[in-house]
A = this chain, B = another copy of it.
Amino acid sequence: MSDAPSPPGALSFLPIAGIPEVRPGDDLATLFGEAIATPPNPALHDGDVLVVAQKIVSKAENRYVELDHIVPGDEAKALAQRCGKDARLVELVLRESSEVLRAAPGVLIVRHRLGFVVANAAIDQSNLPESNGERALLLPADPDASARALRAQLERRYGIRLAVLISDSFGRAWRLGVCGSCVGCAGLQALVDLRGRRDRSGRVLQVTQLAVADQICASATLVGGEAAEGQPVVVVRGVPRAYLAEGSGVRDLLRPREQDLFR
């Protein structure tokens, strides 16, 4: 814990402690408000970006599925055998996806119908509350809409301008390990386009598009210590004002299918 003031240009990731286990139907804005009112949690400032773990948004939206209620079809059964996975889970993955990109032992990478390329359609089975049978948790039905709704509620409540990102941990094609990635976005330009801008010598910049929402979500996942799933809500302070514009949500970050060079 440091008492030194932040220098200009600093970016701070401040965890919000004390968010209770989220249950279906819970109002996240209310839960956050109660937590934020409790020291040492930081008060929200104008321009803050809230990064919210997908898991608690999905829980609030009751995106649970009981695996016992899922009857796998033939495609799911065949894929499950190829991947060494539960056929009911694979059936769920197929229902959530528009396309299977790779299936191999232990690996099932799909294009989620929301456009994300992700293992197992981002279906979650860890850190779920007890139930009688096995459960799975799907992504929010429309994470951009979830982010927009939460942002509107919080902005009204606090009378300040905020952005809300919903993050999940995704693997990468070319590197090991997961990284926080943005799955829902409101109030921030997810992708900042610098095309046409020039460097200090007047040369057109090579790096032309910044994945700002992913860059923010990546570190947010680290906040709160060594737990595998970090803190469910992190306030990010110091994101450049120019990025806090209305964007078109997370779809800006999705590589169009026809530009996918690795099929």
Contact B201 A212 (CB under 8 A): no
Q: Which residues of B contact A179 (CB under 8 A)?
A: 179, 211, 214-215, 218
Tell me the bound Cα distance from A261 to B201 in angstroms.
40
Q: How far is the CB of A75 from chain B (nearest CB, A)?
A: 20
Contact A176 B253 (CB under 8 A): yes
* Nearest CB in chain B to that of A256: its residue: B176
Interface size class for chain A? 35 or more
Question: Which of A139-147, A158-166, A236-244 binds B?
Answer: A236-244
Contact B226 A240 (CB under 8 A): yes
Main secondary structure of the interface of A (DSSP, over half): loop
Contact B172 A231 (CB under 8 A): no
Question: Which of A5-13, A65-73, A148-156 binds B?
Answer: A5-13
Tell me the bound Cα distance from A1 to B224 in angstroms.
23
Copy tally for this chain in the complex stands at 2
Asked if A181 CB lies within 8 Å of chain B CBs, one says: yes
Asked if A37 CB lies within 8 Å of chain B CBs, one says: no
Within 8 Å by CB of A127, from B172, B201, B253, B261, lies B201
Asked if A99 CB lies within 8 Å of chain B CBs, one says: no
Contact A11 B222 (CB under 8 A): yes
Q: Give residues in A with beta carbon < 8 Å to B.
A: 1-15, 17, 40-42, 45, 102, 104, 107, 109, 116-117, 120, 124-130, 169, 172-181, 191-192, 194, 197, 199-201, 203-207, 209-212, 214-216, 218-226, 228-229, 231, 237-240, 242-243, 252-255, 260-262
Apart from A177-B253, A178-B209, 19 more pairs, CB < 8 Å: A9-B223, A9-B224, A10-B15, A11-B12, A11-B13, A109-B261, A120-B206, A126-B199, A127-B199, A169-B207, A172-B174, A173-B174, A175-B181, A176-B253, A176-B255, A197-B228, A207-B228, A219-B219, A226-B242
